[in-house]
Amino acid sequence: MSNMWTIGSILTWTTQYFSGKGIDSARLDAEILLSHVLQKERIYLYAHYDEPLNGPELAAYRELVKKRASRLSVAHILGQRSFMGFDFTINRHVLVPRPETEMLVETVMEDVPTDGTASFLDLGTGSGAIVLSLLALRPHCTGTGVDISADALAVARENGEKLGLTERVTWLESDLFAAVPPASYDWILSNPPYLTKEDMQHLEPEVRYDPPQALFGGDDGLELYRRIAAGAAAYLKENGCCAVEAGAGQSQAIARIFTETGAFTLKKIVKDYGGIERVVVCQRKEC
C-alpha cells in the first residue's frame, strides 16, 4: 500500500486481497474495517470514492487488514457485533452472535406482544445478545442470563449496562440449571453448542477463535439439548415454552428429545431465511 490511496482504490485492492485469502465477504469486510478507521458510516464511502487517506488512517487500516487476512473475524477485530439492531461487545470469551440466531429472538417476539410481560431464562447466555435483545424490544419483560463462564458473564453484564437494562436482568454463573434458584419462567431460551465431533474437525478459520465450549455439543451435537430438556420443565410455568436454536438437520431429533421426556409437546419448528429448520419451540404440558 502506498500513501496515495483513495477510498475507492483501497477498497478495490483490499477486496481482491481478501478474496485471495479465501474470505467470502471480502468487499463487505473491507468496507466495515475502513468505515471503522474513518469513523464514518459505510454509506460515506460510496459518496467519497476519490477522497485520499492520510498517513495515520492508512497505517491503522493496514493493521486491520493484516488481522482479517489471518482469518480473525471482523467482530473479533473490532470487539463488537451487531445483533437485532444493537451493538454488542464481544471478545474471545463469548460466541460471536450469528445472524441465524436472530430467528430465535424473532420467534419469541411473535408470541410476546410489545406491551406484554414475560420472564426469560437464557441458558448459555454468552454475550447476552439473546436475552438483552428481547428485553430491549419488550420493555415490560424481565430476564436471567446463565453461563458457566465468569468471563462470559462479565461481557454480558457490560452489554446490559450499555443498553440500560441492568434493572431488568440478572446474571448467574451456573452449569445450566445447577445454580439457578427455584423459579417459574414463561420462556427458557438457548443457543446451545451443537457442533458434532466431526464438525469440530472442519471449522472455518474464523470460528476457531470462538470458545470451544460454546461450539462443541458432544459426539452427535445434541448433548446439551438432552440436559436442557431433562431440567427445563421444573423451571417453566404451565404452558411455558422452551425455544432453542438448532443446527442444520437437527430439529427433528431435538423435538424428539423434548417430547420424549413426557413433559413437553412440540409447538412449532421455524425455518430461517435460508430454509433451514432453525428454531424448535416446545411447550410444557399442563400438570
pLDDT at 197: 82
Residue 112, all three cell numbers: 410476546
Q: What is the mean pLDDT of the chain?
A: 94
pLDDT at 43: 95
Q: Which residues of 126-140 are buried (b: 16+ CB within 10 A; e: fewer)?
A: bbbbbbbbbbbbbee
Could you give the 3-state DSSP secondary structure of residue 31?
Answer: helix
Residue range 59-107, pLDDT digits in tens: 999 999 999 999 999 999 999 999 999 999 999 999 999 999 999 999 9
Are 214 and 95 contacting, i.e. CB atoms less than 8 angstroms apart?
yes
Share of the chain above pLDDT 70, in %: 99
Task: Report the binding-site residues for S-adenosyl-L-methionine.
Answer: 124-128, 147, 191
pLDDT at 3: 53
Report how far apart, in Å, the C-alpha atoms of 197 and of each of 94, 163, 210, 212, 221 are.
20, 36, 16, 11, 7
Burial of 113 (0-12, 13-18, 19+ CB in 10 A): exposed
Task: Report the binding-site residues.
Answer: 124-128, 147, 191-194
pTM value is: 0.90
Q: Does position 207 have pLDDT exceeding 90, yes or no?
A: no
Task: Report the binding-site residues for substrate.
Answer: 191-194
282 Cβ contact list (under 8 Å, min separation 6) = 229, 241, 242, 255, 258, 259, 264, 265, 266, 267
Which has more confidence, 179 or 287? 179
